[in-house]
Amino acid sequence: MRINKLHFAAVIVVFFIAISCNQTTQPAMEPPIAKIIPKTLTMHGHSRIDNYYWLNDRENPEVIEYLNAENAYTSESMKKTVKLQDEIYNEIVGRIKQTDISVPYYYNGYSYYVKYEEGKEYPVFCRKQKGDDPHEQIFLDGNKMAEGHAYFQIGGWEFSTNNKLLAYSVDTVSRRKYDIYFKDTESNRIFDEVISNTTGNVVWANDNKSVFYQVKDKTLRSYRIYKHIIGTPVDSDEMIYEEKDATFSVSVYKTKSEKYIVLSSESTLSSECRFLDADNPNGDFKLFQKRIPDVEYDINHQNDRFLVLTNYKSKNFQVFEVPEDNTEIDNWKELIPGRTDVLIEEVNVFSDFFVVTERKNGLPEFRIFNTKENTDHYLEFEEDDYFVTSSVNPDFNSNKFRYNYTSLKTPQTVYDYNMLNSEQKLLKQQEVLGGYDPDDYITERKYAKARDGVMVPLSIVYKKGFVINGDSPLVLYGYGSYGYSIESTFRSSRLSLLDRGFAFVIAHIRGGEEMGRHWYEDGKMFNKKNTFFDFIDCAEYLIEEKYTSSDKIFAIGGSAGGLLVGAVINYRPDLFKGVIAAVPFVDVVTTMLDESIPLTTGEYDEWGNPNEKEYYDYMLSYSPYDQVEAKDYPSLLVTTGLHDSQVQYWEPAKWVAKLRDLKTDDNLLLLHTNMDFGHGGASGRFEQYKEIALEYSFMLMLLEPDSYQ
């Protein structure tokens, strides 16, 4: 279904399209018309007629035939831009340093890094043992492993404590169901035992033979933890824990101190942890603190205590400490109090330090604590709009904190910060080929006043020479769900838009967590419409301030952001030149009533439970699919993946079919279904840029239809 806030590492494939208000560019081919088979859906005494419910069957040949017909129509619509697509693709790929290597990080006697080779799609994972002239060991070669697969993704990997055995996971379907394999790195022998239907995460105990992993149920909810012993049959694996509450999911990890294995059970608004001595994998997990409604907590072990990040008694979270032998909530001692103007997002522990990621005025910052000297200080950053995040910091005993810095114009940059003497070292900045100069671009942070008086942040980037006169094209992107903050990160592919005169703007609307926990709560459940209205008000602000006009502004959203733009065009179809809905969650009520669909039950705390009438009525009032009417709509491109595990393909397919039947305009409406991939789109490093080249060509063609007759 939607994009979970904890795993937004998945890439949303966003397609761009626009079309002239006064002149349309229609292909010679007639658009496909889905047949109508009415199905009555009744709940709470209310009946809905779904004419396209039959599309909910990927095994039906007629469904595949319809999706292929839509793809053919999209191809016909875009055939005049093939040369332009090639040009843009070559631009984007030409900025990428194809032979590249990541900054190594050190852990347990080895340095680890990832490298890319010219012309190849997938990463190669390597390590070197510390010492003079160390030999490079390639332990996973994504290019070789991907051979024969239309889709390929390495999930997670982890070495045993003695560095001899490797556990890794692979998805070749794009349903985020991973198979776990084991490999002897000395002989390169892959073991016979394969564990299927997992999240891909593996945790080694300290005995070098016991591993813990997570299994998914039929809805793809992570609901069980198992223990596997290397060399034994998988079907004899011991089930360690089963989460029977369908609104919770489970995960497992090892503390950075390597002393404990932690089992965490989480819902949207509550969590519960258990922990086990990693030296004793056959022991029993001990309950850290039983779950409490509306209380979330996360634990990190440091020496003889745990640090607890929690919203207990503080909406914006605070940090407690508690002895490792007496962890119940009554023993929690306040370490960092909660504040109304600061959101605490993360705690990263070291033996003598810990780093707290805080967010103030929508921007993240690092607060460094020295536990030996009992002091703390903040790192400072120069730009007014930026994003920083902690990088890979696996060494518990290190005094260096590694982090990543970027902005809408600053490429990804890796730093090491010495927490003892405050010295900072730049390790690497993403190289953009072709003479890129960030000084050629301008970033701004503005605030749009929403209709209820709330000030909504906007992050803006454009190239020098962009004219603020109401006649320039602009892309407005939003998400606004799960408390997931959309960050101001650099994308070299975006330069092909900026260099062609576009501005790119992120609307930090409610439903995210940019401005604190209240920002999230004010954009969910019965406050969900604030998300849509914020986005509309941001668009109107940009038009009023003459950054663009309704003839040249484009709305973009993916997954839950697809719900956003889908709802927005029902409220204000006149506001945008074109709208892009990527893998959109648009059939809200039907999906949330179907507990067999992945992620549904775990999201009642996000959207509401439509089995209760008040939630049903509210969700129905904004559900994009249910609210489609006979009226003019802007130009629209909708994308989906046949194997999408998060937003099932039939939601966007049904939505397009209904729009095509009811809309009263001649604007272009396209549906593109990737028949090989799922929610994240293409898995290859360069393959994804073919999709982006298509997106940009949509925009350019439809802004200038006379050029593509």
- Catalytic positions, written as ranges: 559, 644, 679
Residue 655 sits at the vertex; the CA angle it makes with 654 and 661, to the nearest 5 degrees, is 90
18: tokens are: 């626009």
Burial class (CB in 10 A: 0-12, 13-18, 19+), 101: middle
Single-letter amino acid code for the residue at 433: L
Burial class (CB in 10 A: 0-12, 13-18, 19+), 571: middle
Q: Angle, to 10 degrees, between the axis of helix 560-571 and the axis of helix 529-544?
A: 70
- Exposure on the CB side of residue 560, measured as CA atoms within 13 A: 26
**Beta carbons within 8 Å of 22's beta carbon, 6+ residues apart:** none
Q: Please, are residues 600 and 247 in contact by the beta-carbon 8 Å criterion? A: no
- Give the strand pairing for 353-360 and 363-370: antiparallel
- Exposure on the CB side of residue 266, measured as CA atoms within 13 A: 15
Q: How far apart are CA 151 and CA 146, in angstroms?
A: 8
Q: Please, are residues 296 and 310 in contact by the beta-carbon 8 Å criterion? A: yes
Q: How far apart are CA 407 and CA 413, in angstroms?
A: 10
173 CB neighbour count, 10 Å cutoff: 18
Single-letter amino acid code for the residue at 278: A
Helix, coil or strand: residue 115: strand
Residue 369 sits at the vertex; the CA angle it makes with 368 and 373, to the nearest 5 degrees, is 135
- DSSP strands (E only) in 177-220: 178-184, 189-190, 195-204, 210-216
Beta bridge partners of 195: 180
Q: How far apart are CA 618 and CA 609, in angstroms?
A: 10
- Exposure on the CB side of residue 373, measured as CA atoms within 13 A: 10
Q: Please, are residues 296 and 289 in contact by the beta-carbon 8 Å criterion? A: no
- DSSP strands (E only) in 303-454: 305-310, 318-323, 333-336, 343-349, 353-360, 363-370, 375-378, 387-390, 400-406, 413-418, 424-429, 441-449
Using only C-alpha atoms, the chain has a radius of gyration, in whole angstroms, of: 25
Structure-derived torsion over alpha carbons of residues 568, 574, 576, 578, reported in degrees to the nearest 10: 90
